[in-house]
Chains A and B, each alone.
Chain A
Amino acid sequence: MKKFKEKLSGRVFFVLALSTISALVLITVFIFVNGMPLIAEVGLFNFIFGMSWAPEQGQFGIFPMIVGTVSVTLGAALLGIPVGICCSIFMAEFAPAMMKNIFRPAIQLLAGIPSVVYGFWGLIFIVPAISTHLGGVGMSILAGSIILAIMILPTIISISEVSLLALPRTYKEGALALGMTHWQTIRHVQLPAAKSGIVAGVILGIGRAVGETMVVIMVLGNSVALPESILDSVRTLTTNIGLEMGYAAGRHRQALFATGIVLFVIIMILNISAQYITRKKVK
């Protein structure tokens, strides 16, 4: 009887674990089945590098949205990475215990704020501020980048901090014993040693920025055009799906799924490279 129970519990866990993977497989297959026909019809090159998006006229070019996604993500990375890494160094190396006890939950809380709240805050606060001080309507790459930068901070900070704390204590002691200052130790020994973990954190953060939808719908302005400055409005791949899925039908609907495929591939590449980099460290 006992043996049977053991066996049964093993099976149950296996089935439940399988269901999560099958969800992934189902979604993937569904996206590809629905999106591929359109890509085949229009041609991969024309789809990705086409400049014009006019589903009613049968024009399906998503290049402006790829540029939109890349520019907003790049902006978020430029703002978020330095702040995030510095914050993780502070947390791992400088912060006294009391301060850590305040900082760590605060950063976790940052991750818990719903994205619609970020977007709302951006719309009410950041967008008008940009419009007043820098001109334009305010709905812009800059606004999206600022908010996304804040949103990816928790990912970057927590993963970088963990990889800094996971270093053997001997690195630090050995370096300090050689007469290095604390900062030299961090810069020349600890950061290089934790590099793979930090890079993985950064990539996962970027992945989050690429996939974020609600915030960018609210503050980017969503115009389908190549931006000329960071104060211009853009539309991202996620926005494109989010805005038009409500009324799309037929080829238009297929085109949105095709957009999803492109997004899916980008996120996959980011996640796989993050995993590859962390695994290399173990070796």
Chain B
Amino acid sequence: MADKIVINDLNFYYNQKQAINNLNMSIPANEIFSVIGPANSGITTLLRTLNRLCDLTPGIRIEGEIQLDNQSIYAPEVSVTELRRRVGIVFDVPTPLPMSIFDNIAYGPRLARKKNKKALAETVELALRQAALWEEVKDRLKIQAMSLSGGQQQRLCLARVLALEPEVILLDRPCSGLDPISTAKIEESLTELKKQFTIIISPHNTQQAARISDRVAFMLMGNLIEEGANMEVFSSPKDRRTSDYITGRFG
């Protein structure tokens, strides 16, 4: 299968501190790619470099290359806003905007290409269905998004990204604050969504990675330790540190 994202010799620094060391990785299209590892492993940093949200942090420096469909995303001619529409992100805490449910989702499409009302409503419904939230909110799309529960807010954020019709979806510990039922719902939709999108997720625990991923990468202190198909990594890890981590000896 074609590689959607290719990372070559990536080094990432916050001022003097190096957060990612010489990373090489290829992420195939239409799969769920999990990046696992303990805190401070550079995983969030990695996700945020993929749609250049890290640009917002002062004092960062990036070396190496990241390609999306064989094009460098850090090339000067790349439009950052266009890139962020193609590579959507869901954060570890729900981040609804201070507006209604409908507007939260319709916002991106409205800005991207001024759709007519009917098409917009369809986009919103589809996105909410894909994020397994439609049934719960269909009668109250006009209420403030902030008044939803945490799990619902997080699915709203997923729907918001889906409505942009991106190519890649990044999920940074999307279920860390969620109850098991919301988590199950999100996992279910992700498995469905990978037919359409490339999904890169930092799962909040190894069990989740084992349940949903096609491929798994294990990172530790900014280094990529091991990467491979789900079964391989979890049943016969090549590196000692990987097996220690997935068996719960540390992390």
Contacts and interface: CB of A to CB of B under 8 A. Distances in A.
A173 B91 contact: yes
Q: How large is the interface on B (under 10, 10 to 19, 20 to 34, 35 or more residues)?
A: 20 to 34
Interface string B81-99: 1101100110101011111
Nearest to B112: A179
A171 B95 contact: yes
A54 to B, nearest CB: 55
Given A173-B53, A173-B56, A184 B98 contact: no
B93 A179 contact: no
Contact of B82 (A174, A175, A179): A179
A188 B99 CA distance: 10
A174 B98 contact: no
Given A170-B91, A184-B111, A188-B107, A177 B53 contact: yes
B164 interface: yes
Contact of A180 (B56, B81, B96): B81
Nearest to B93: A170
B124 to A, nearest CB: 14
A196 to B, nearest CB: 11
Nearest to B96: A174
A168 B97 CA distance: 10
Contact of A179 (B91, B97, B108): B108
Interface in A145-195: 168, 170-181, 184, 188-189, 192-193
A184 B81 CA distance: 11
Contact of B108 (A97, A173, A178, A193): A178
B85 A176 contact: no
Contacts of A175: 97
Interface residue SS majority, chain A: helix
A44 to B, nearest CB: 43
A193 B111 CA distance: 18
B51 interface: yes
Q: How large is the interface on A (under 10, 10 to 19, 20 to 34, 35 or more residues)?
A: 10 to 19
A34 to B, nearest CB: 48
Nearest to A177: B89
B215 interface: no
B182 to A, nearest CB: 19
B186 interface: no
B26 to A, nearest CB: 24
Interface string B73-86: 00000000110110
Nearest to A181: B81
A172 B96 CA distance: 11
B95 A179 contact: no
Nearest to B163: A178
Interface of A: 97, 168, 170-181, 184, 188-189, 192-193
Given A171-B95, A180-B107, 16 more contacts: A168-B95, A170-B93, A171-B97, A172-B56, A173-B91, A177-B89, A178-B84, A178-B161, A179-B81, A179-B82, A179-B85, A179-B164, A180-B81, A181-B81, A189-B97, A193-B98
29 contacts: A97-B58, A170-B91, A170-B93, A171-B95, A171-B97, A171-B98, A172-B56, A173-B56, A173-B95, A174-B95, A174-B96, A174-B97, A176-B53, A176-B84, A177-B51, A177-B88, A177-B91, A178-B85, A178-B108, A178-B111, A178-B160, A178-B164, A179-B81, A179-B85, A179-B108, A180-B81, A181-B81, A189-B98, A193-B98
